[in-house]
Structure 1
Amino acid sequence: MAEFSAPFTGSPITTQLQWSRMIRRAILDGVHADDSSSTALKVTASGTTTVTVAPGRATVNGFHYDLDAAKNLDVVANAGGAARIDYVVLRADQAAKKVTAEYKTGGTTAPTLTQDEEGVWEIPIAQCTVGAGSSVVTAANVVDKRYLVSRPAIPSIPGARRPSIKNGLLVEDGKLFYGDGAQWRWLATAGVDDSTYTPVWTVNNGGTTINWGSGSLNYGRYQAFGKRVDLTIQLQPTGNPPAYTDPIEVSLPPGLPASGLHRAVFTWLLGSENGEGSAGGVAVMYPTVSTGRIARLQYPVSNGSASTSKPDMHNMLTNFPMNIRTGDVLTIDGSYWLA
């Protein structure tokens, strides 16, 4: 068994392979460009017996490549009876100790790339189609195949951002921004991955816990995106709790209290398997009651059927207007904002 580590004093990088293995994990293969509009190492053709590689830079198998002037590559004549699909590649050759742009012929399908970490390593930058009996490539028969590489995500201090970098990513206090070249645009904020919890159902301002029966399905699922939390709660009782006179309440996910600046509103739906039909309404989080639980499940009613009748909202109880018990399914779904 042999162990190797570097670079240390007395243990330097001494071979190309050692360098390649170290650098290619830090820098991906590809053309150095900020977006697809870049012409770096882009291949063009004009119906002649050559194709042209534009100036640019790239990394191939950990090795740097720099082309400072356009390079023409000869198209190999196609003597076959069918169109041939070729590649223009960047080829890192450790035996030759260099990276070069090369024209590589294929067949009815594109050629296989050689990728030997200790020898020749190729990446494509263009696909060219040569007609049967032809030795020219037209502009229409060149397909851009460049792998593009750019900067990793950039950390930033609030109030001290660098100028926007085209297609760059910037991370600042748990927020991810995208650069369009003119400004940094908010893209995402760190949150909480898809998680579950066991909701606590109460009445009497959280003072009394509702017992829905042993083995009842009582399931909360949530995911946080920055300051917003998406939440679904489902309850399937296996028993019949007492007929409490106070409204039903249910807890929000632990550690994610709602903002106290405004009410959050959810929808709820109850389906009964006990011959009582179904009902729906809104579930409301009242900041004055609690920021840690939904305080009311409400349903619409009216004091009459005339055009002058006034709408109203009543609170759902454990046994009114429907008796919630074994076989029923209660679902609450919506989102709310964090403090």
Structure 2
Amino acid sequence: MAEISYPFAETNESGGSQMVSQVQWQAMASMWGGDRVDFTLASESYSGSVLPFASRVINGRAVEVKPGRAWVGGFYYQLTAAATVTIEANPTDKARKDTIVLRADVVKGSVNLAAVKGQPSASPIAPQPQRNAGQVWEMVLYEVDVPAKDGAISPVSRMPFKMPPAISTPWNTRASGTFQQVGTFLYDLDNNGGDTQYEAFNGRDGYVITRHFGKSRPYTPSLVNAKSVPSSGLTLTGRWRWVAPNVVYFSVNINNTTTKPIENTGGTTALGFKLPQTANGDTGQIFTGFLRNPNYNSGLPNFMDIQGYCFKGNGAQHVTMYVPNVASLKEGLDTLRVIPAKSEIAFSGMYEANIFG
């Protein structure tokens, strides 16, 4: 029959089947999730000796594997007492990499520990696990360094673990995150439409938004160190979004459509603009923008590079602007002290924020 479905209470003429073969079970169970150790990594740190399937080398050539549980190729496996796997000797003059795997053998009808021998080589590579549905399916627990001339073997963990399931909330995601396990991803669905949909992570360093979904967010990049800001004719437009944990993308447009320049508060004080999120101040951060000044007002060129800088310190809330000396390139950069009439400034880029302080 062309249409087959299972498992149902009774086998029927419509293709429904009551019984499920091992191969059918594996095909069905593979939809539930990938291979992994049945242990949730929900603490800030672990000692390898307390994790499932912890190992130690005994008698030089054997690896003892402690109890644990796992999901392998669609089948559940439990090791209820310590078991030993022997690593074959390597008398050659070249090193080897072996693996210790959990092997689901559908034909045999069981999951068992096994050692898989690699090839001696000047640059040894561990053998890849077999993944053949309906036959043999392997999940690697350890990669074993097998030195030349029967040197001391060394198993290194390669186990994939279960993590806390991701959750979603209609709102109040940050507050909800305080009750979730370390390692949990959270999704703010913003069902009340008052904010932005985003993904967050509750990790060892604390709660952090990892990225915004949908549209970027508006903000006003207000001017810093400006003596007189016109009540009309000045447009301050900004957009921003989280693009990675503690990383912001932003764009800014400062458009002075008036016939008067916007000057600094005096002396060599530099004009600047506010950022959407405080910038990390561990190293100081550099930004690039430009000035469009078609009428050559205030003695500045029609197009001009602007360098922005966030100073080192506890974190910077604004970008300080610098421009090339208009009289001589030898003079380097000067503080930007005026935004000419009928001119426009634009900045865009990414920077590290200061969420973790």
- TM superposition score normalised by structure 1: 0.58
For structure 1, the residue ranges without an aligned partner over 5 or more in a row are: 198-202, 210-219, 237-242, 249-263, 283-297, 300-312, 319-323
Asked if 1:74 is matched to 2:90, the reply is no
**Inter-partner Cα distance in structure 2 for 1:231 and 1:161:** 26
**Inter-partner Cα distance in structure 1 for 2:180 and 2:21:** 38
Partner of 1:121: 137
**Inter-partner Cα distance in structure 1 for 2:213 and 2:187:** 17
Partner of 1:187: 208
The within-5 A match list for 1:177-326 is: 177-178=201-202, 180=204, 185-188=206-209, 191-192=212-213, 205=232, 222-225=239-242, 230-233=249-252, 245=259, 265=274, 269-270=290-291, 276-277=300-301, 278=304, 316-318=340-342
**Inter-partner Cα distance in structure 1 for 2:97 and 2:211:** 45
What's the CA shift for 1:111? Answer: 2.4
CA contact (8 A) 1:193 1:223 kept: no
Three-state SS of the structure 2 residue aligned to 1:91 is strand
| Pick aligned residue for 1:102 from 95, 98, 114 | 114
Asked if 1:144 is matched to 2:168, the reply is no
Partner of 2:51: 39
Partner of 1:176: 200
**Inter-partner Cα distance in structure 1 for 2:338 and 2:203:** 50
Which residue identity is paired with 1:150? Answer: M
Identical amino acids, percent of aligned pairs:
25
CA contact (8 A) 2:185 2:199 kept: no
Give CA-to-partner distance per residue, 1:229-278, whole Å, 9 cap, x none.
85325799xxxxxx854789xxxxxxxxxxxxxxx736974155868434
Task: Kindly name which structure, 1 or 2, has the bigger radius of gyration based on alpha carbons.
Answer: 1
Q: What's the Cα RMSD here? A: 4.8
For structure 2, the residue ranges without an aligned partner over 5 or more in a row are: 11-15, 190-197, 219-229, 263-272, 276-286, 309-320, 323-336, 351-357
Which residue identity is paired with 1:32? Answer: D
Cα distance change on mapping 1:118 and 1:247 into 2, 3 Å: farther
Which residue identity is paired with 1:31? Answer: V
Cα distance change on mapping 1:152 and 1:22 into 2, 3 Å: farther
Partner of 1:30: 36
**Inter-partner Cα distance in structure 1 for 2:25 and 2:177:** 33
**Inter-partner Cα distance in structure 2 for 1:57 and 1:4:** 32
Corresponding residue pairs, total? 258
Cα distance change on mapping 1:88 and 1:192 into 2, 3 Å: closer
Give CA-to-partner distance per residue, 1:50-89, whole Å, 9 cap, x none.
1111211111111111112111112223354433321111
Give CA-to-partner distance per residue, 1:283-303, whole Å, 9 cap, x none.
xxxxxxxxxxxxxxx99xxxx
Which residue identity is paired with 1:270? Answer: L
What's the CA shift for 1:143? Answer: 1.7
CA contact (8 A) 1:13 1:19 kept: no
Three-state SS of the structure 1 residue aligned to 2:131 is coil
Q: Which has the higher helix share?
A: 2
Cα distance change on mapping 1:118 and 1:223 into 2, 3 Å: farther
What's the CA shift for 1:123? Answer: 1.7
Which residue identity is paired with 2:20? Answer: T
What's the CA shift for 1:47? Answer: 5.0
**Inter-partner Cα distance in structure 1 for 2:75 and 2:238:** 48
**Inter-partner Cα distance in structure 1 for 2:261 and 2:129:** 69
CA contact (8 A) 1:91 1:123 kept: yes
Cα distance change on mapping 1:73 and 1:331 into 2, 3 Å: same
**Inter-partner Cα distance in structure 1 for 2:91 and 2:210:** 57
CA contact (8 A) 2:164 2:181 kept: no
CA contact (8 A) 1:46 1:137 kept: no
Cα distance change on mapping 1:187 and 1:231 into 2, 3 Å: closer
**Inter-partner Cα distance in structure 1 for 2:203 and 2:274:** 35
Cα distance change on mapping 1:130 and 1:185 into 2, 3 Å: closer
**Inter-partner Cα distance in structure 2 for 1:172 and 1:279:** 39
